[in-house]
Amino acid sequence: MAFQGKSPFFSFLQATAAVAALEQCAPAENYILDERVPDTRENDFLALSGFSVSSPATVAEWYNQIVNYSTIRVSRAAASSTFDTINRPNWLSLHPDWDVVRIETIYGLCSRANSSDVNETEAIVLIQEMLDARSSGRPVDPFKEARLEKWLEEVNDGSDLRPAFVAPYVEVEDILRRADWANRLRDAFGLGHIRPWAGNPSTILLMQYNLERVYHAHIGKPAWAASPTVMDDVPTAGPNPCFFPAPKSVSSDGYGFTVDLDMTAGSFQREFLHGRIEYTLADIRRIGEVTLDVSDMQIGAARSRHRGLLENDLVHFGDLP
C-alpha cells in the first residue's frame, strides 16, 4: 500500500522525502514506494502507541516509532510479525534444498554475547585457528573449540527473533573467489553500516547454511520465509538508507534486491527473510576484513542508480516529491 491515504502521515513522508539529508529522505522514499506492506500492517504501525493521532512533529518521533514497532512487533514479539498472519501476503513458499549466506560482524556477535569473557580479539583468533585447521584437515584444539562453542552459545542466547536477511549462495560464488571478497560482498549486499572504525577494519564472518535447517526449525509455525519490506528491519536508532523496496512486477517470486554500493559494479543480489535459527560453528565459513569506507554520498548515488533502474516498475513512483 505504501501508506497512500494515511494522512497526515503520508504528507509527512512526502515532505521528508524532499529534504536533502540522506538519512531522512531515503527511508521516507522507501515508505512511499514499498508496495508489499499489507494495509492491516500499516494500520498496526500507525496505531501503536497512538502514533496515528497526529502527524509526527519531527523526524525523531518517526524514528522512535520505527524502533518501537520493530522492537515490539518484529524482534521481541512472541511471534515476529514478519512471519505472522498480519504479513501473510509476503510469505514465501521456498523449497529448502539450497544454501544461503549472510554477513555478521564480530562486533555485533560479541555485543550479543555480552556475558562472555571472550572479547572481539580472542574471538577473531579462535575463529581463524578453527578455519585454518578445517582447511588443512587438522583437528581443532579441544579446549579452544569448547571455548568458541560456549561463546557462540551465548551469541545465540543473546539473539532476538528478528528475521534474517539472506541471499542465495550461488549468486555470490564469483564474489567469494576474489581476494577482496569482504569489501565486495559488503557493497553487493548494501551493508553500508559495516565500515572501518577509527582507522581499524571491521571484521566480518561469512555465514553459510542450508535452508532445510531453517524450515525444520519453524515447522508448525505460520511461516518461515518472507519478502523484505520496510517493516522488517530492526534499527537501533533510525531506518536503513541502504534498503530499497522491490516492485512486485519485477519480483513476482517475492525476492528483494540489494542496493549495490559499488558504483562500478552495477549489479544486485536477490535477498529474502527467514526466521531465527541458532548458529553452529559449521556455519562460519570465512573471516575477513572490510577496509574500505562508504560515504553517504556513495550510498545516495547507489540508491539513485538503483531507483532509476526500477523507476518504470515502481507503482508509487509518481508520489515522490
Do 57 and 120 share a domain, yes or no?
no
The C-alpha R_g of the chain, in whole angstroms, comes to 20
Is 294 inside any structural domain?
yes
Q: Are 116 and 195 in contact (CB under 8 A)?
A: no
Of 45, 70, 87, at which residue does a domain stop?
87
From its phi and psi, is residue 15 left (phi > 0), alpha (psi between -120 and 50) or beta? alpha
Residue range 113-128, pLDDT digits in tens: 999 999 999 999 999 9
What are all long-range contacts of 313-319, with beta carbons under 8 Å and residues at least 24 apart? 313/247, 313/249, 313/250, 314/33, 314/35, 314/247, 315/2, 315/35, 315/247, 315/248, 315/249, 316/2, 316/4, 316/32, 316/33, 316/35, 317/33, 319/2, 319/4, 319/14, 319/32, 319/33
> How much is the average pLDDT of 26-54?
92
Q: How confident is the model at residue 263 (pLDDT cuts 50, 70, 90)?
A: confident
pLDDT value at residue 238 = 81
Mean pLDDT throughout 2-24? 93
pLDDT of residue 51: 86
pLDDT tens sequence across 84-122: 999 999 999 998 999 999 999 999 999 999 999 999 999
pLDDT reading at 53 higher than 60? no
Residues 204-225 pLDDT 10s: 999 999 999 999 999 999 999 9
Do both 179 and 49 map to the same domain?
A: no
One domain for residues 110 and 184: yes
Average pLDDT of span 261-265: 87
What is the reported pLDDT for 288? 98
Say yes or no: 119 and 237 in one domain.
yes
Confidence of residue 189 (pLDDT cuts 50, 70, 90): very high
Q: How far is CA 238 from each of CA 49, 165, 200, 205, 234, rounded to the nearest angstrom?
A: 18, 18, 24, 24, 9
149 within some domain: yes
Structural domain of residue 207, as residue ranges?
Answer: 91-302
pLDDT at res. 49 = 86
Is residue 309 over pLDDT 60? yes
Predicted confidence band of residue 162 (pLDDT cuts 50, 70, 90): very high
Examine residue 3 and state whether it is found in any structural domain, yes or no: no
Q: Are residues 76 and 159 in the same domain?
A: no
With CA atoms as reference, report the closest residue to 59 among 106, 9, 107, 109. Answer: 9
Q: Report the candidate in 283, 161, 153 with the shortest Cα–Cα distance to residue 224.
A: 161
Q: Is residue 109 part of a domain?
A: yes
Can you give the pLDDT at residue 54? Answer: 67
Q: How confident is the model at residue 12 (pLDDT cuts 50, 70, 90)?
A: very high
Residues 121 and 107 in one domain: yes
276 and 148 in a common domain? yes
Instruction: Look at residue 284 and tell me whether its pLDDT is greater than 70.
Output: yes
Task: Tell me: do 207 and 133 sit in the same domain.
Answer: yes
User: Residue 245's closest CA among 71, 82, 30?
Assistant: 30
Are 215 and 223 a contacting pair, CB within 8 Å? Answer: no
Mean pLDDT for the stretch of residues 149-154: 98
| Contact criterion met (CB below 8 Å) for 176 and 286 | yes
Instruction: Give the end of a domain, one of 87, 104, 131.
Output: 87
Assigned C-alpha cell, 176:
567469494
pLDDT of 140 higher than 80: yes
CA–CA dist 289, 113 (Å, integer): 21
**pLDDT tens-digit profile of 227-252?**
999 999 999 778 999 999 999 998 88
What is residue 236's predicted lDDT score, i.e. its pLDDT? 79
Please give the average per-residue pLDDT across 169-187, as a whole number: 96
Q: Domains in the chain: how many in total?
A: 2
Q: Determine, yes or no, domain membership for 257.
A: yes
pLDDT at 1 over 80: no
